[in-house]
Structures are given as C-alpha cells and as structure tokens.
Structure 1
Amino acid sequence: MKNIRALVMLLVAAVAGLGAVAMASRWLVERSSGMTAKVAVAAVDINLGQRLNPEFIKMIDWPSGSVPPGAFTEAQKLDGRVMKNSVLRGEPILDGKLTPVGTVGGLSAVISEGRRAITVRVNDVIGVAGFALPGNYVDIIVSTQQENASSKGSNKDDSISKIVLEKILVLAVAQEVGRDETKPKVVNAVTLEVTPDQAEKLDLARSVGTLSLVLRNQVDTATLATDGATKFTLLGTQAPVAASAPSAPVHRVRTHYAARPAAPRDCIGVLSGVMGSVECF
C-alpha cells in the first residue's frame, strides 16, 4: 500500500514538473519572440550591380531594439531590386544600398547621377600593381611633351608629368565590379567614374601621353595644386635660356648737308701803335 502511494506521488510530481517546464518554455518563447524581428540578410556575397532573387536572401532573427534603419522584414520586397553597393554574407540588406525600383542591373545602375563611366587601358605598373580595386580612389597622371615655342623642332627636354585628375572612383577592373576583394588583380583595363568635364580631360590625356594611376587614401579629400615635374625640376637644374632671334640689320642713310653761310657781324678796326687789327661782334 505504501509503495502504491509513493508511486502515485512520484507520478504526480513528474507530471507537475513537466507541466511547469512546458509553461516556462512557452513563456520564454513568447517573450523572446516579442524581443526579436525578422530581418533580410545576404545569404551569399553580393556584388554591386547584381539583381536580387530569393537565392541571395535569407531571413534571420534580429533584436528588435537594434534593427538597422532601412532594413527589410519581408524578403518579397527585395525580389528584382539591384544592388548599388556590395554586401557580404550575413550582412543586412538596407534600402540605402539598393538602386531605385525598376532599375536594370549592371554597371550603369551604380553610376551616380550626373556622372559617367570611362575605361582606360592599364598594365601591371600603370594599374598600381593591381591594387586599384573597385571602390578605391585614384589620381590620374599624364606624361607628355609640353609645347614650347622657343624650342620648336627640339622638344626632347620638354617632357612633363602632371596630375590632371584627383580622387577618381574606380568602378570596375576588367569585367569585375566586386568592391570587397583585398587581393591585387593585374588587369588590362580599369573603369572610372568621372564627370563629363573630367571625361573630356581624360580622353585627351590618354591621346597625348601616357597615363598612370596613383592610389590614394579612401578618406583623403584634400586637393593639392602642383606645377608638374619636368627634367629640369627633377634634376634641380635650370632650363637653358632660349637664344634671342638676331636683330634686323640697321641700314644707315647718309645725308649730305650744305654749308650754311656765316651770319653777318659788325666789325671795327683797332690801331695799337704801329699794329692794326679788326674786331667783329
């Protein structure tokens, strides 16, 4: 009898314990569900210019109090949108990283308003050994011959290197637009984002000389005016003084002058002893 009573008490205690655990877990789930929200993140690394589809997106729980502004809570709203910036796997997809609704994918979707994309040919040296990657900023140097009217026909010493454009954004290298690569890539072409005026200067610069890219700090916005480097400033010597053109010969004109008659004067005779003379005034 005592054994049966003990078994019943154990059974009741077990049921009560299971009920308490179930209620506690239910309470924790309800409380935690109220503290998190579903946020759309990148399921894989996504490059700029790519069009989103369900394979690129996954929904995860995110603390409700720290949901990033512009985050999406529904994956359907991202279908067909185009990335304006690159995102890494697990990174929230924000509205500020997307192009306007209806934008067609590709490089043209990431060009800023009022700007243009232009491609220049480079090599392993001109392209900063492959470290000029999408998202970096570069300066453009042109090496050419400067016009010098005083040394026509002999401009071998008139070479000049000059920075013509500063803080130019690299949009793509070759056919790749990924901005999150850290390894250098030696390519034969770099696409740059420029204004229309800069596009004209760059097109002229690559036709009159050799271009070089100069990698600059991402946060450096200073613009420095330079005079350019020539052979004489490089070596610290003075430029030769241009020989002046020979002056035209001076033709002397001989002029014949006629003797003018002496002006009439008043004269008197002076007698001194036995000597006489004439004094004129």
Structure 2
Amino acid sequence: MRNTKALPIIGVALFLALASVLVAAKWMGDQGVSGTRVAVATADIVQGARLAPEQLQLAEWPVGSVPPGAITDLKQLEGRIVRSDVARGEPVLESKLAPPGTMGGLSAVVSSGKRAMTVRVNDVIGVAGFALPGNFVDILVNLESTSTDNGTRSPSISKIVLERILVLAVAQESNRDDSKPRVVNAVTLELSPDQVEKLDLARSIGTLSLVLRNQVDPQPANTAGATRESVLGLPEAKPAPAPVAAPAPVVQAAPTPVRPRPAAPRNDGVLVIRGLDAAPQAFN
C-alpha cells in the first residue's frame, strides 16, 4: 500500500523533470545555442599566404556569437590571400583577407593608401633585433652641424621625425608569431606617401635610428629635438650676426678743365681831348 501511494508523487516528479528539460531546451534555442557553420583554419596560416582547401573547414559556431565578417561558404575563400596571421581554430574573417585577385607576398599586406619602404639598419639602429613584424616604432634622425651660405653653422640636432610606424618585415621575414629578437640588416616599414618622402630625405642628410614604442600608446612625442647645448646643459648658442656689407665707394666725376680766357689785346695809347671831343691816340 505504501508503494502504491508513492506512485502519484513519482509521476508528478517525472512530469516536472520532463517539463524542465523542455523549457531549458526552448530557452537555449532562443539564446542561439543552435549554431551556424563558419569557415575556420585547420592549421596556422602566416601573413601573406594563399589559402589552400586543406587549411580550411566549416565548424559549428553559436549564432549569437558569430564574429562580423565570418565566411560561411568555403568557395568564397578559394585563392584568397591573408593580410594577417590566422591561428588554428580561428574563424577566417573578411577583415583579415586581401581583396580578391590580390597576388601573394608582402604587397598583399600593405594597407590601402600606404607604401612599403625598406631602410638599412644594424644591431643598434634596429633596437637590438626587438623591432619585429607587427611592432610600432618611431624614427629618429641625427643631423651633424653644417656650415650655411652666410658663414654661420647650423647646430647638430637629434629629432623624432616619424611616429608610430608599423614594421611589416625584418629582412625577408614577415611572420608576426615569432617573438625572438633577430638582428638583421634591413627593416621594411609601412608609410604614407608623404612619410616616404620625409624618410627618404632624412636618411640622405643624417643618421637614422629606430625607437621601439608601446603597441597601444597613441600619444605623440611633441619634442623640440635635442641639441648639444640641451644635452650638456649649456646656454643655447645664438647665431652670429650676418656681416654688414661695406658701402660701395662713391666715384666722383673728374672736374671739367677751365679754359683760360684769352688775354685782351694790349693797347698802348692815350686819350686826346680837344675841347668837347675826346679821341684815343695810339702809338705804333
């Protein structure tokens, strides 16, 4: 009898449990747990590489958390070039792909409106090999004192001329996954056209150095540059005044020669007066 009385309670408990499962399933469905298939990488893909079919697959992804730009059709990825590294299991996003038809190599990763320029460095200028692809650097130029046309000398100065410049590659390597420092003899930078012109002039008139900066620091330097006087704590040298040109000599015109007047002819004689008449009388 006791077991018979417990049956309704067990039945009610089973009904409530089933109802809870159904409600939870409906709630999870409303939250988008039912996934959609997006393209993910099956292996690490390096920057500038062309996608191959064996590197991709479709995987279930929660509908509510599908990242913007995710690809749902593998045919859209045939022959595409990746602009940045894609890790294994990471969704392949449109923002990480170069435009269709882009050729592979470093040119595929150069942003629109930018240019890639390579500068020669050494173990000191290249920040001891810590300037790696994906890092940002400032570019410093050191100018020696030179003579000007008016006889004065311009002071030597060290000045930051370009800031927050993206390093695209070191030597011939553009892989951003490697964090080990590498001492190389060339660094390729991403620059705007006006920055390319400024850097080309700077390396022809002075010595370049790279300054590694924080990845997320956007603040400009706003410095006036360092001179010999500012480093040693000396008063700033004032430029020597330009020499005053001597006045041009005044050329005086030669005086006009004065011709002597001809002497009046000599007249030897006397004046003879007769009454009211007077007449000269000459003696020969």
TM-score (norm 2): 0.69
Q: Superposed, which structure 2 residues align to 1:26-41 within 5 Å? A: 35-41=34-40
Does the CA-based 8 Å contact 1:150-1:242 persist in structure 2? no
Instruction: Look up the SS of the partner of 1:87 in the other structure.
Output: coil
TM-score (norm 1): 0.69
| Aligned equivalents of 1:248, 1:151: Cα separation in 2 | 15
State which drifts further: 130-139 or 144-153: 144-153
Pairs aligned (count): 218
CA deviations on 1:181-200 (whole Å, 9 max, x unpaired) are: 22222211110111111111
| Misfit runs of 4+, over 4 Å | 150-155, 239-249
Task: State the match for 1:43 in structure 2.
Answer: 42
Task: State the match for 1:115 in structure 2.
Answer: 114
| Aligned equivalents of 1:177, 1:241: Cα separation in 2 | 48
Letter of the aligned partner of 2:87 in structure 1?
L
Task: State the match for 1:80 in structure 2.
Answer: 79
Unaligned runs of 5+ in 2: 1-24, 250-284
| Aligned equivalents of 1:87, 1:65: Cα separation in 2 | 22
| Aligned equivalents of 1:61, 1:110: Cα separation in 2 | 29
Structure 1 residues 237 and 79: alpha-carbon distance in aligned structure 2, compared to 1, 3 A threshold: same
1:144 equivalent to 2:139? Answer no
Q: What displacement does 1:211 show?
A: 0.6
| Aligned equivalents of 2:60, 2:40: Cα separation in 1 | 10
Larger-Rg structure = 2
Structure 1 residues 225 and 60: alpha-carbon distance in aligned structure 2, compared to 1, 3 A threshold: same
| Aligned equivalents of 2:35, 2:119: Cα separation in 1 | 49
Does the CA-based 8 Å contact 2:167-2:188 persist in structure 1? yes
Letter of the aligned partner of 2:107 in structure 1?
S
Q: What displacement does 1:219 show?
A: 1.9
1:219 equivalent to 2:216? Answer yes
Does the CA-based 8 Å contact 2:41-2:56 persist in structure 1? yes
Does the CA-based 8 Å contact 2:145-2:153 persist in structure 1? no
CA deviations on 1:121-170 (whole Å, 9 max, x unpaired) are: 11111111111111111110011224454995977xx3211111111111
1:170 equivalent to 2:167? Answer yes
Identical columns (%) = 59
Which residue of 205, 211, 226 corresponds with 1:208? 205
Unaligned runs of 5+ in 1: 1-27, 252-281
Task: State the match for 2:184 in structure 1.
Answer: 187
